[in-house]
Structure 1
Amino acid sequence: YEPNSFGGPSQTDRPLWQPLPVTGPTGNHEAPAHAEDSDFVQAGDLYRLFSEDEKVRLIENLAGFIAKVSRDD
């Protein structure tokens, strides 16, 4: 966000990246899907490792932020 009062980043006309010389074929490739892939397994496994106190803090933190959301947001 600019301008800001902390002397942070500002917009320039420079590209975000520079070209990289390569040899051979290149392209965008999707990572192969695996049968055990799931968007929720890793998060669930981590949650089950939490102590009861950590679980309470996580839920209270999430609920506190979600409670501030309005239908207009």
Structure 2
Amino acid sequence: ITSDMFRLNTMFWQEQVAQYEQLMGINFTEIRNVMDMNAYCGGFAVALSKRPLWVMNVVPASMNNTLAAIYDRGLIGSFHD
């Protein structure tokens, strides 16, 4: 993973979460647990990090193992087949 890919993934998910919140009227205080089944490098979890919820990052076995990037961000995750 290059630093540009890492940064772009983070920006992408920050924009997506803002859109979800605005367009779908999501009340994040009603959500406690989220599972990202294709976590890549954890950008979705980072975008949700200021909200009162817990995110489990899952990296599919069929994809590149990016758990190191997830762990480097201080997040949790697992590898799943």
Q: Which has the higher contact order (CA 8 A, sep 6+)?
A: 2
TM-score bin (small chain): under 0.3
Structure number having the greater helix percentage: 2
TM-score by length of 1: 0.27
Structure number having the greater strand percentage: 2
